[in-house]
Amino acid sequence: MAAPKYPAFDTLALHAGQSPDAATGSRAVPIYATTSYVFRDTEHAASLFNMERAGHMYSRISNPTVAVLEERVAALEGGVGAIATASGQAALHLAVATLLDAGQHVVASNSLYGGSHNLLGYTLRRFGVETTFVSPRDPRNFERAMRDNTRLVFGETLGNPGLDVLDIPAVAQIAHAAGVPLLVDSTFTTPYLMKPFEIGADLLYHSATKFLGGHGVAIGGVLVDAGRFDWEKSGKFPQLTAAYDGFHGMDFEEESGTRAFLLRARREGLRDFGACMAPMTAFHILQGVETLHLRMPRHIENARKVVAYLAAHPMIESVGYPELPSHPDHALAQRLLPRGAGAVFSFNMKGGRPAGRAFIEALRVFSHLANVGDAKSLVIHPATTTHYRMSDEDLNKAGISAGTVRLSIWLEDASDLVDDLDRALNAAQRAAQ
């Protein structure tokens, strides 16, 4: 008997999670702008609240429009399910808060978005969760940082902004040997460039604000579970494998097996923290997901042209793009990212702050703002913006200097992007003299 043929990525991006609306025939995903749903009777209401049957009761916990986005991203990633949240930060917080108690420990890459570093390094410390940050360049750093109370290993598929490539197979092996899951931030790669679950990751999330949405019009996050981590065998997660008084003694692993993490995250974390996604936001992000497979090749093509231009320019000290042989993770990127190393990268410019200021302010096609993954190309100075809360020591460990500039390369004509950069670098050169 022939093996079943599953839909390809392009098809899933357009169809997963939704069929034409049964009531109206609508081909587009309807926007269910409703807070709550009428119960058929008292038994139906009670069974929904007690999780005895599927259905919607209140949009803080689930919504039909949001559910389509959750199912679509889960299908693209090869996960058993997903939870859409109010932002990427909310997705990270939801994952940590579901798995860890006060007094427990995270091992994380030090090559992270500044907000993630702050959440783990400062905010969660107030609630008794401690994090050790390590360089992702050597997976053994994660192993050396593990403790008896470690409950999560975390990194970014491509570190922000230096594009350190996380060796997911090696780090996953270390995490699993210690009986804990590996969570990755997959924002910069998207499921088009990398499928982290296929190479060992257990949980992942996206800032859907970025590439998935693709147009800078909606803030959101999506947390996805591979459904393969054995919580029972690990023995370190009573949150999922022991009776929980908050749900009348429910054992989430016993109740839902491979979806235990998602069940508790939704019914406790989403309910109690409240960082849910709005249906209009889900609709906007779905429009971006539908064209992800068309946009990503153009992003990569343009990024390569811009990288080649910058790497040859006398004002540039270095370009942090893993496809360059000079990048420390070049060989790893070739193995894990055969489709491309993303469209966000940083470079270091000569001339210090005066040159950097002149460069950014001379740009006309690039927009100076705090985002990536927009349809328009973007520029920012990480040390004074996205990563400004990090100490000088932490900035240095993350490879961020006063001369580091981050670019997000998008869908314009590449020659116009190069012309814009050329004009700005000429301005920077004059300012440095």
Distance CA(207)–CA(280), nearest Å, equals 16
Question: Which residues on neighbouring strands pair with residue 367, listed in sequence order?
Answer: 378
pLDDT of residue 389: 64
Residue 237, in any domain of the structure: yes
**How would residue 433 be classed by pLDDT, with cut points 50, 70 and 90?**
confident
Shared domain for 205 and 221, answered yes or no, is yes
pLDDT of residue 395: 60
Of 267-271, 289-293, 429-433, the poorest mean pLDDT is in 429-433
Work out how many domains the chain is built from and give that number.
Answer: 2
Instruction: Tell me whether residue 26 is in a domain.
Output: yes
Residue at a domain's end among 256, 288, 320: 288
Do 175 and 59 share a structural domain?
yes
pLDDT category of residue 397 using cuts at 50, 70 and 90: low
Of the three residues 233, 261, 288, the one that is the final residue of a domain is: 288
Whether 108 has a pLDDT exceeding 70, the answer reads yes
Whether the pLDDT of residue 228 is over 80: the answer is: yes
Residues 419, 329 share a domain: yes
Say whether both 321 and 267 belong to one domain.
no
What CATH number does the domain containing 377 carry?
A: 3.90.1150.10
User: What does the mean pLDDT of the chain come to?
Assistant: 93
Phi then psi for residue 85, to 5 deg, are: -125, 175
Per residue in 172-195, pLDDT (tens digit) is 999 999 999 999 999 999 999 999
With cut-offs at 50, 70 and 90, classify the pLDDT of residue 400.
low
Q: How confident is the model at residue 327 (pLDDT cuts 50, 70, 90)?
A: very high
- Residue 317 has a pLDDT of 93
Look at residue 253 in the predicted model and tell me its pLDDT: 93
Using a 10 angstrom Cβ sphere, with 0-12 exposed, 13-18 middle and 19 or more buried, the burial of residue 233 is exposed
Q: How confident is the model at residue 284 (pLDDT cuts 50, 70, 90)?
A: very high
207 pLDDT exceeds 80? Answer: yes
Query: Is 90 in the same domain as 195?
Result: yes
Residue 389 domain-assigned?
Answer: yes
Lowest mean pLDDT among 96-100, 267-271, 399-403: 399-403
When pLDDT is cut at 50, 70 and 90, the band that residue 432 belongs to is: confident
User: Higher confidence at residue 3 or residue 215?
Assistant: 215
Look at residue 401 in the predicted model and tell me its pLDDT. 65
What whole-number percentage of the chain has pLDDT above 70?
95
- Give me the residue label for tokens 């996050």: 221
Under 8 Å between Cβ of 372 and 342: no
- Residue 404: pLDDT band (50, 70, 90) is confident
The 10s digit of each residue's pLDDT in 231-242 is 999 999 999 999
Instruction: Report the C-alpha gap between 373 and 208 in whole angstroms.
Output: 9
Q: Are residues 114 and 86 in the same domain?
A: yes
- Asked if the structure places residue 280 within a domain, the reply is yes
pTM exceeding the 0.75 threshold for the entire prediction:
yes
The angle that helices 414-432 and 292-311 make with each other, rounded to 10 degrees, is 40
pLDDT at 387 over 70: no
Which domain covers residue 358, as residue numbers? 294-432
Q: What is the CATH number of the domain that holds 262?
A: 3.40.640.10
The mean per-residue pLDDT over the stretch 313-334 comes to 96
Calpha distance 306→311 (Å, rounded): 9
Residues 416-433: b if buried by 16+ CB within 10 A, e if exposed: ebbebbeebbebbbebbe
| pLDDT score at 382 | 77
The mean pLDDT of 358-368, rounded to a whole number, is: 94
Give domain status of residue 53, yes or no: yes
Residues 273, 313 within the same domain? no
* 241 lies in the same domain as 117: yes
Residue 347 CB: number of other CB atoms within 10 A?
A: 22
Q: What is the pLDDT of residues 39-55, one digit of tens each?
A: 999 999 998 888 888 89
Listed residues 288, 308, 341: the one ending a domain: 288
Confidence of residue 343 (pLDDT cuts 50, 70, 90): very high
50, 157: one domain: yes
Is residue 135 located within the same domain as residue 166? Answer: yes
Which stretch of 73-87, 143-157, 252-266, 378-392 has the lowest confidence by average pLDDT?
378-392
